[in-house]
Amino acid sequence: MQRLRALGASGLQVSPLCLGGNVFGWSADEDASFAVLDAFADAGGNFIDTANIYSGWIPGNQGGESEAIIGRWLAGRPDRDRFVVATKVGMAGGRFPKGLTRDHIRAGIDGSLERLGLDRVPLYFAHEDDPATPLAETMAAFDELVREGLVGAVGASNYDAVRLAEALGAPVLTTFKGKGLIPDAHPLAGGVLGRSGTPVASWLMNEADLLVVLGASFADHTGISPYKPAIQVDRNPLALGRFQAVTVPVLGDIGVTARLLAEAPGAAGDDQRADVADRWAIWRAEKARRLADDRGRGVSSAAIFAALTRHAPEDAVIAVDVGNNTYSFGRYFECGRQTILMSGYLGSIGFGFPAAMGAWAAVQADGSGRRVLAVTGDGGFGQYLAELTTAVRHDMDITHVLLNNSQLGKISKEQRAGRWDVWQTTLHNPPFAEYAQLCGAWGRRVTDARDLDDAIAAALDQRGPSLVEVISDPDLV
Ligand SMILES: Cc1ncc(C[n+]2csc(CCOP(=O)(O)OP(=O)(O)O)c2C)c(N)n1
Ligand SMILES: [Mg+2]
């Protein structure tokens, strides 16, 4: 393993990989847990994560099993001082109730120290936000533990920035990378900013007096207005003001900082839900109008992503590619709780389908049963056509929606925008649906918007890979 790294400003030096102890005393018994811990230590790892409640959700367990196993393992290690153990308090599980009151935290640390056989927990987390306890009480209790030497550094997990928006009545706009972090149906959600975004988000951005930028950046694709006063919060100091000078840079955890701001006196502003609803009404009417667009040259992107919005399971993982198809997805697809995967800063075409294969493997491992979808263009998928045979070989449940406009549509558009003639962007494609069938997958071609619902629903019903090839109009994006 590479050498140790500083963990933020905590003063802790940790291995780049942290070993999750959630399974100790659950799917890994004590012997298996020791074997994993030994192998991790032998490889140079020193960072071990657990929580007081692990694994209290198992019948017969009461919580504390994981800490106790780690404690017994540490007791047998002469080099025990080199390990950085992180544990947590505050989530409900087994015999432990939820909560981050002072009493809970004091009782929590005593139990954890005892089970771990330590005098001091190097890193102690609030496991999840406790809205019922004032943040000041929780922070003061953690502060006491640090001053008394019982805890090295404190951390926070599962704090939710959306609560700040709810406290302020302020709209939430996301960058494209953040699509889906707040469901579009939330009364304060304004959708995605920028070229792949909604007019709802642009309007709200234009009207804003102040931007609170949480963990987002100001790069070309993000669409965050550089001329608005902005508070930027990030836990990475290098991210603050990196692309753009900001009015107030704040180094801190996003969720905790958001909660502090929400609790600041006088924070609540005018509730803007009505503005958000008005703008969505205008945008949804426009989207409905675009559904009718038909120039006889293929299905419109508005129709494709309206259908996908109707059918994509609430908790699906959707891997998208790079191209006009991706911008259209950002603009038209309305997110529920789906997770969206994309190539960083929309860098590499061809990402969509292989990413879906990776997501499928991850979903097998986590046992969540989530459906995996891929959205690509013909150009992007054309680069990785043969991967479909791998997906068939491993029986991967991936539903792939392919927008076939017979060209590198994004490049055609860029050439036109630069006032050049469109040059060398048309593609010679195989009939993708038939190609899928030849590979042993399920495939159907859609040429009429009215067939979208049937095709997507049928594809989602398949086991193994399925491909809906939609002949799409390159200009109705
Ligand atoms: C590896 C790589 N090569 C080239 C590009 C430039 N590029 C961005 S989008 C695109 C065309 C995408 O075409 P297609 O997949 O058919 O999507 P469409 O724009 O037609 O929806 C290209 C060539 C890139 N981003 N990455
Ligand atoms: Mg294309």
**Token pair of 15, please?**
């291995």
Is the shortest distance between the CB of 221 and ligand 1 below 6 Å?
Answer: no
Q: What angle do CA 32, 62, 159 make, to 5 degrees?
A: 90
Output the pLDDT for position 345.
Answer: 77
Counted domains in the chain: 3
My answer on whether 182 and 240 are in the same domain is yes
My answer on whether 313 and 456 are in the same domain is yes
- Spatial contact of 318 and 351, defined as CB atoms under 8 Å apart: no
Between the CA of 190 and the centroid of ligand 2 the distance, in Å, is 28
Between the CA of 304 and the centroid of ligand 2 the distance, in Å, is 14
Q: Strand ranges (DSSP E) for 333-378?
A: 339-341, 372-377
Among residues 241, 272, 303, the one where a domain terminates is: 272
Of all helices (H) and strands (E), which one includes residue 153?
Answer: strand 151-156
Q: What does the buried/exposed string (b/e) look like for 228-262 if buried means 16 or more CB atoms within 10 Å of the residue's CB? A: eebbbbbbeeebbebebebeebbeebbbbbbbbbb
Q: How far are the Cα atoms of 88, 134, 150, 420 from residue 146, in angstroms, in the given order?
A: 14, 19, 6, 64
Strand partners, 125: 88, 155
Which ligand sits closest to the CA of 301? 1
Output the pLDDT for position 312.
Answer: 98
Does residue 2 carry a pLDDT above 70? no
Instruction: Give just the sign of the alpha carbon dihedral 20, 26, 29, 32.
Output: negative
My answer on whether 66 and 40 are in the same domain is yes
Output the pLDDT for position 1.
Answer: 64
Output the pLDDT for position 261.
Answer: 86
SS3 175: coil
Q: What is the pLDDT of residues 166-198, one digit of tens each?
A: 878 899 999 998 998 899 999 999 999 988 899
Between the CA of 347 and the centroid of ligand 1 the distance, in Å, is 9
Which ligand sits closest to the CA of 415? 1
User: Could you tell me the maximum CA-CA distance found in the chain, to the nearest angstrom?
Assistant: 75
Output the pLDDT for position 159.
Answer: 84
Q: Is the link from the previous residue into 55 a cis peptide, with omega within 30 of 0?
A: yes
Indicate the Cα dihedral angle 235, 92, 160, 107, nearest 10°.
-50
CATH number for the domain spanning 137: value is 3.20.20.100
- Spatial contact of 379 and 321, defined as CB atoms under 8 Å apart: no
Domain-embedded: residue 280: no
What is the pLDDT averaged over residues 356-376?
A: 94
Which range, of 196-205, 244-253, 260-269, 281-290, averages the lowest pLDDT? 260-269
My answer on whether 328 and 467 are in the same domain is yes
Domain-embedded: residue 123: yes
My answer on whether 211 and 64 are in the same domain is no
Dump the DSSP string for 371-417. Answer: -EEEEEEHHHHHTTTTHHHHHHHTT--EEEEEEE-SB-HHHHHHHHH
Helix axes 135-147, 102-116, angle to 10 degrees: 40
Domain-embedded: residue 417: yes
Q: What is the pLDDT of residues 294-338, one digit of tens each?
A: 999 999 999 999 999 999 999 999 999 999 999 999 999 999 999
Q: What percent of the chain has a predicted confidence (pLDDT) above 70?
A: 100
Phi, psi of 190 (to 5 degrees): -110, 0
**Token pair of 291, please?**
């559904």
CATH number for the domain spanning 405: value is 3.40.50.970
My answer on whether 301 and 336 are in the same domain is yes
Output the pLDDT for position 55.
Answer: 92
What is the pLDDT averaged over residues 96-122?
A: 97
Q: Is 54 a catalytic residue?
A: yes
Q: Whose CA is nearest to atom 6 of ligand 1?
A: 349
Is the shortest distance between the CB of 415 and ligand 1 below 6 Å?
Answer: no
My answer on whether 189 and 145 are in the same domain is no
Domain-embedded: residue 282: no
Is the shortest distance between the CB of 325 and ligand 1 below 6 Å?
Answer: yes
Work out the pLDDT band at 266, boundaries 50, 70, 90.
confident
Mean pLDDT over each residue of the chain, to the nearest integer: 94
Does residue 95 carry a pLDDT above 90? yes
My answer on whether 109 and 185 are in the same domain is no
Point out the ligand 1 atom lying closest to the alpha carbon of residue 477: 21
Between the CA of 224 and the centroid of ligand 2 the distance, in Å, is 28
My answer on whether 51 and 200 are in the same domain is no
What is d(CA 436, CA 389) in angstroms, rounded to the nearest whole number? 9
Point out the ligand 1 atom lying closest to the alpha carbon of residue 322: 9
Among residues 214, 241, 272, the one where a domain terminates is: 272
Substitution site in 322, 328, 331, 412 for ligand 1 pocket (most atoms within 8 Å of beta carbon): 322
Q: Which residues, including other chains, have CB under 8 Å from residue 197's CB and lie 6 or more apart? A: 176, 191, 223, 330, 331
Q: What is the pLDDT of residues 374-416, one digit of tens each?
A: 999 999 999 999 999 999 999 999 999 999 999 999 999 999 9
SS3 136: helix
What is the pLDDT averaged over residues 216-240?
A: 88
Output the pLDDT for position 477.
Answer: 95
Domain-embedded: residue 69: yes
CA distance from start to end of the chain: 46
Domain-embedded: residue 111: yes
Number of residues written out for the chain:
477
My answer on whether 222 and 335 are in the same domain is no
Domain-embedded: residue 281: no
Phi, psi of 71 (to 5 degrees): -60, -45
Output the pLDDT for position 162.
Answer: 84
My answer on whether 435 and 299 are in the same domain is yes
Is the shortest distance between the CB of 403 and ligand 1 below 6 Å?
Answer: yes
- Spatial contact of 54 and 25, defined as CB atoms under 8 Å apart: yes
Work out the pLDDT band at 131, boundaries 50, 70, 90.
confident
What is d(CA 155, CA 142) in angstroms, rounded to the nearest whole number? 9
Range(s) of the domain holding residue 432: 291-471
My answer on whether 359 and 449 are in the same domain is yes
Does residue 226 carry a pLDDT above 90? no
Between the CA of 259 and the centroid of ligand 1 the distance, in Å, is 40
Among residues 108, 133, 156, the one where a domain terminates is: 156
Is the shortest distance between the CB of 380 and ligand 1 below 6 Å?
Answer: yes
Which ligand sits closest to the CA of 349? 1
Give the pTM: 0.84
Domain-embedded: residue 476: no
CATH number for the domain spanning 170: value is 3.40.50.1220
Substitution site in 349, 416, 469, 472 for ligand 1 pocket (most atoms within 8 Å of beta carbon): 349
Between the CA of 354 and the centroid of ligand 1 the distance, in Å, is 15
Which ligand sits closest to the CA of 384? 1
Work out the pLDDT band at 45, boundaries 50, 70, 90.
very high
